[in-house]
A = this chain, B = another copy of it.
């Protein structure tokens, strides 16, 4: 067998891989406007929203003694890789898939400074028979519990509907909701503290995490050996894709215990490094050091014929989570992350001036128009 996969004839764009944001975005805008108009209801209970959290990764309400943060997040299409790999290897990957799902919710919730407290499971299967595969079901349960243990959250319960006719037969739609508290209230990080001179610390990713999977799956179809194509480090493409998403809440909790208050955080998910432009202010982000790119992401970039600009605008490229801190706290932030077993680097600095992200080592710049989430 040939271990060098045939090169595809042309670059593979994210849109070719099946996700058309142009169709989704008008709905998102309409929903965001309608949602914003409902905030007034909180006053009847003596509460108020933290308006700056609109457009952030989690929604925050001021309930008096502390802030309440909540979120619901979808895993996406990573289960399709797990299902295909199960056919090829006979292994169930749903223990790590569970971690991916929880990571999607937890890693977003912590960006606002929240301690995650309760996770709810949303497991919508294509039919009751999905749950009849005891090995797979038990893997999902065991992985879900382990991820809760890592994050120190209580698994409150959840929903396990059988949705024949809506979810495809043999498939499962996984999501997680998460509720947390920002306590003490000084931990709130919705961006008002972010300022020129702040350091940008990037926490290592474990691989593709759970964003960019549509592209990664499309690519597998082009490879003669598909998911069994060997990577540079000896693992297969499929196994490498299924490395579970890193859970970052042990780092943010560790920072609080160490007395470090992040000024802002960004979870690097869809839109890749453009997520570093999430903060609404006019600020520049100059990256002087990029993290090591996991072999699976190097492989995807090469096989999809993506230049750095395209790759960094779609994939996490080794940076799963960004923490913006006072420059004096930068090294301590790195140390706290490493103490939790998560690699980290001081990657850059926040600057006054036009909103842009400059990745110096790559000669890549993303402007103000690169990310439109609000």
Residues of A within 8 A of B (CB): 18-21, 23-24, 26-28, 30-32, 34-35, 37-39, 41-42, 44-45, 47, 49, 54, 58-59, 61, 63-66, 68, 70-74, 76-77, 79-80, 115, 117-118, 120-122, 124, 127-129, 131-132, 134, 137-138, 141-142, 144-145, 148-149, 152-168, 171-173, 175-177, 179, 181, 183, 214
Other-chain residue from B122, B149, B161, B165 in contact with A41 (beta carbon distance below 8 A): B149
Given the interface pairs A122-B72, A144-B34, the reply to whether A77 lies near B166 with Cβ below 8 Å is yes
* Central interface residue in A28, A59, A172, by most chain B CB within 10 Å: A59
Q: Bound state CA distance, A365 and B71, in angstroms?
A: 42
Q: Which of B26, B138, B160, B168 contacts A168 (CB 8 A)?
A: B168
| Separation of A183 and B54 alpha carbons in the complex (Å) | 25
A31 touches B161 (CB 8 A): no
Q: Give me 12 other A-B pairs in contact (C-beta within 8 A), A58-B157, A59-B156 excluded.
A: A30-B137, A38-B149, A41-B148, A41-B153, A63-B66, A65-B65, A70-B156, A72-B121, A72-B159, A74-B124, A175-B175, A179-B179
Q: Given known contacts A37-B145, A134-B26, is B163 in contact with A173 (CB within 8 Å)?
A: yes
A137 contacts across to B, CB distance below 8 A: 26-27, 30
Main secondary structure of the interface of A (DSSP, over half): mixed
Q: List 22 A-B contacts (CB under 8 A).
A: A18-B127, A20-B129, A23-B131, A24-B160, A31-B141, A31-B144, A35-B158, A38-B154, A41-B154, A44-B152, A63-B66, A63-B181, A68-B118, A70-B120, A72-B72, A74-B163, A77-B165, A77-B166, A159-B175, A165-B171, A166-B173, A167-B173
Contacts of A144 in B (CB 8 A): 31, 34
Cβ-defined partner of A156 (8 Å) among B35, B76, B153, B171: B35
- Choose among B37, B72, B77 the residue that contacts A120 (Cβ–Cβ < 8 A): B72
Q: Contact at B61–A19, with CB atoms within 8 Å?
A: no
User: Whole-angstrom distance from the CB of A67 to the nearest CB of chain B?
Assistant: 12
Also in contact, A38 and B148, with CB within 8 A (given A65-B65, A122-B72): yes
User: Is the pair B141, A38 in contact by a Cβ cutoff of 8 Å?
Assistant: no
Could you tell me the distance in whole angstroms from the C-beta of A124 to the nearest C-beta in chain B? 6
Q: How far, in whole Å, are A32 and B121 apart by their CA atoms in the complex?
A: 11
Residues from chain B with a CB closer than 8 A to the CB of A32 are: 157
A34 near B142 (CB under 8 angstroms)? Answer: yes
Tell me whether B65 and A64 are in contact (CB under 8 A): yes
Residues on the B chain within 8 Å of A73, using CB: 159
Contact present for B118 and A154 (CB under 8 Å)? no
B35 touches A155 (CB 8 A): yes
Q: Which residues of B contact A172 (CB under 8 A)?
A: 166
